[in-house]
A and B are shown apart, each in its own frame.
Chain A
Amino acid sequence: MIQIDINKKLHGANGEMDLCVRLDILQGDFIALAGQSGSGKTTLLRILAGLEDSNGTISVEGEIWQDGKSSLMPQKRKIGFVFQDYALFGNMSVEQNLLYVQKDRALASKLLELTQLSQLKDRMPSTLSGGQKQRVSLCRAMMNRPQLLLMDEPLSALDPTMRTKLQQEILALHKEFGTTTLMVSHDPSEIYRLAQRVVVLNWGKIINDGTPKDILLKTSGSAKFSFEGELLDIVQVDVIYVAIVAIGQQLVEVVVSDDEAKALEIGQSVSVSTKAFTPRLKRV
């Protein structure tokens, strides 16, 4: 069990904010940390890693990492940290990057094999692709067999195919090492694939905590097919109205009635939903 009960005053872009998090995490769990930027996700990871101070306590499997009196040094905490921008040592080869953490050649070789990097072990980071760099960074994070693996949007700079591949490797490593993992992510498909639990932070507080399906399936009533978008226009056609809504990178049209059209305002955030029985699913 990992028990977190911390608070810290933050001075963010949106003014002063109290980061106040109480969270119990079971060993071996994979938790996705979601929430808008500036909600305190990265700071929470940095506090867990010991890179930032805070008030309160952190205990990991009975070991106190931080309490009111003292704080364990970052290098004494059994953590692995994967950053979005890889943060590899540019003057060291792939293998040296791993061995810098722990002089354990057997483990390094096992990790490189698991992530299909064995043939690249003597290469310098600058000669690697983004996906390869992030794999090295992931391997390096596993070198001290972390009790807690912290990942801050590790895949957001990668293309979708590479992302899916790395998601599988992350999951494989998480299981192989029995690590407890906390990953910041905004990608619903990633969260659904990897995490057993999603914790949503907003303005420094936990506002939602549950299974990916419960949190991500945005539904109301019996609608199971629901998206949020911006209402761009409402056009009258014959006796009906057609609402044009921007959802993500796409525009959709929805037929609405006279009364519905009158109650809506252009520019509003709206949810577009229907029951699970209605939409059609087709390969593209």
Chain B
Amino acid sequence: MSYLVATVKQIESCENLHIVAFDYRGQTLRMMSLDLADAIAIGTKVKLTIKPSHIALAKNFEGELSCSNQLQTTIVSITNGELLSAIKLDFLGTLLESIVTLSSSQRMDLRVGEEIVALIKASELSIDEVIND
């Protein structure tokens, strides 16, 4: 799992459906969610989580994508298995992990140190817990 600590900055609602925007070090992340816990309000600090298999990668990409979250990251490490490739990414000081097929990883010719865009759909981002401090 990949985790990010962010602060709730906006909540849009339609009945029990919500789009929540978070601030993470000046970057905005968006999450689609059904009912939210009572504790979630503007200013609430939360730990966000994303499954590594839900993070797609884009390199030298041009054009429009529907993904709400397009994060500028740097590749920290690449671990290749027989079929899959686990890629660790640095996103402004937080480590994220993406798991893609080995063939995609090789086709994109990914290299450590390279800048890459991590793509996460709003429906695949979730709140792990509220952080009280």
Contacts and interface: CB of A to CB of B under 8 A. Distances in A.
Interface in A244-261: 253, 255
B53 interface: yes
Interface residues of A, number: 9
Interface stretch (A57-65, A149-157, A234-242): A234-242
B121 interface: no
Contacts of B126: 280
A280 B128 CA distance: 10
Contact of B16 (A242, A277, A278): A242
B17 A280 contact: no
User: Main secondary structure on chain A at its contact with chain B?
Assistant: strand
Interface in B55-84: none
A242 B51 contact: no
B81 to A, nearest CB: 15
Nearest to A279: B51
A255 B17 CA distance: 10
Interface string B5-36: 00000000011110000000000000000100
Interface of A: 237-238, 240, 242, 253, 255, 277-278, 280
Given A240-B17, A242-B34, A253-B34, 19 more contacts: A237-B14, A237-B15, A237-B16, A237-B17, A237-B34, A238-B14, A238-B15, A238-B17, A242-B16, A255-B34, A277-B51, A277-B53, A278-B51, A278-B53, A278-B54, A280-B1, A280-B49, A280-B51, A280-B126
Interface of B: 1, 14-17, 34, 49, 51, 53-54, 126
